[in-house]
Homo-oligomer: A and B are copies of this chain.
Amino acid sequence: MPLLVVGSVAFDALESPYGKVDRAVGGAATYFAVAASFFTHVNLVGIVGDDFTEVDAQIFHGRTINLDGLERAPGKTFFWAGRYSQNLNERVTLATDLNVFAEFKPLLPEKYRSSEYVFLANIAPALQCDVLHQVKKKPKLAAMDTMNYWIERTNAELRETLKHVDILMINDSETRELSNEHNLLRAAKHIFKMGPSILVVKRGEYGAMMVDHRGVFCVPAFPLEEPHDPTGAGDSFAGGFMGYLAGSKDKSDASLRRAMVYGSVLGSFAVEKFGLDRLRHLKRGEIHARARHFAKLTQFKL
């Protein structure tokens, strides 16, 4: 089942104790699409500048990713530069140049409009809402990301968008800020009143937690000795999660749990190397092997 994603396609300049790159293809929609493409067809909506070359676009080729919705505009592609601390647990943003992204008005190609699975990556809530309205029928599953910036500056628009999605996928601090609740269970109850019926909290090195009316499901982060670059981990998680659900066309509790695991698997691969280097060469067999490893990591018999 095709999975629609709208979000940023970008160039990143990254620095961590493990190295430095000046211009790597990145952006939330890129990580998401690549991760999801292991499970399903992806319809990508985004914008790049005329500096985005055929070589840059190769990350999407040979995968089930449709680029009809990737607009090319005169000017430069969105650029983000960041530096990670010694332990990768803190990052400083050195530059955010929106460039062509500043004027982005997502327009869905006709054949995207029947998408039944939708992911709204972290962009302005008004744009997220606009994309949802361009989809003809209510999607079987719509999920979204957001960030503190939108919670603080465009709260009304964010509240409006939240009314129309099933799954909100954000991190701990965003969950607390949005709900004004420190306790994540109580935060989830607040968020359910805003629209979503499922909350997925991404907790970095502590894994991820899903809360819905049936209860809570937790997945740890995959223990890695040498993560190199956390950029895109959350978007890769979202891609694995939504990709699995769209591919399986099953939104039962058992399927949502597997989606949490596949999300964690993709997130864990993403951080192993710089930028998209690890996902670029990832094989399906490695994904399934790591999913089995997640079972070993968490399972017990009473």
Contacts and interface: CB of A to CB of B under 8 A. Distances in A.
Contacts of A300: 217, 254, 257-258, 260-261, 295
Interface residues of A, number: 40
Nearest to A184: B223
A218 B226 contact: no
A93 interface: no
A96 interface: no
A18 interface: no
Nearest to A295: B302
Given A216-B223, A296-B215, A182 B257 contact: no
A280 B31 CA distance: 51
Contacts of A53: none
Given A207-B218, A218-B207, A220-B220, A182 B87 contact: yes
A288 B207 CA distance: 26
Interface string A223-235: 1111100000000
B185 A225 contact: yes
A293 to B, nearest CB: 9
A291 B301 CA distance: 10
The interface residues of chain A, by DSSP majority, are classed as: mixed
Contact of A182 (B89, B216, B220, B223): B89
Nearest to A206: B206
A183 interface: yes
Nearest to A224: B185
A209 B260 CA distance: 19
A301 B262 CA distance: 12
Interface in A28-54: none
A54 to B, nearest CB: 38
A87 to B, nearest CB: 4
Contact of A225 (B186, B218, B260): B186
A216 B89 CA distance: 21
Contacts of A105: none
Given A207-B218, A257-B300, A185 B295 contact: no
Nearest to A218: B220
A211 to B, nearest CB: 8
A40 to B, nearest CB: 17
A225 B226 CA distance: 35
Contacts of A288: 302
Interface of A: 86-87, 89, 182-186, 203, 206-207, 209, 211, 215-220, 223-227, 254, 257-258, 260-261, 288, 291-292, 295-302
14 contacts: A89-B182, A183-B224, A183-B225, A206-B206, A207-B220, A215-B297, A217-B298, A217-B300, A220-B220, A254-B301, A260-B300, A292-B302, A298-B298, A299-B299
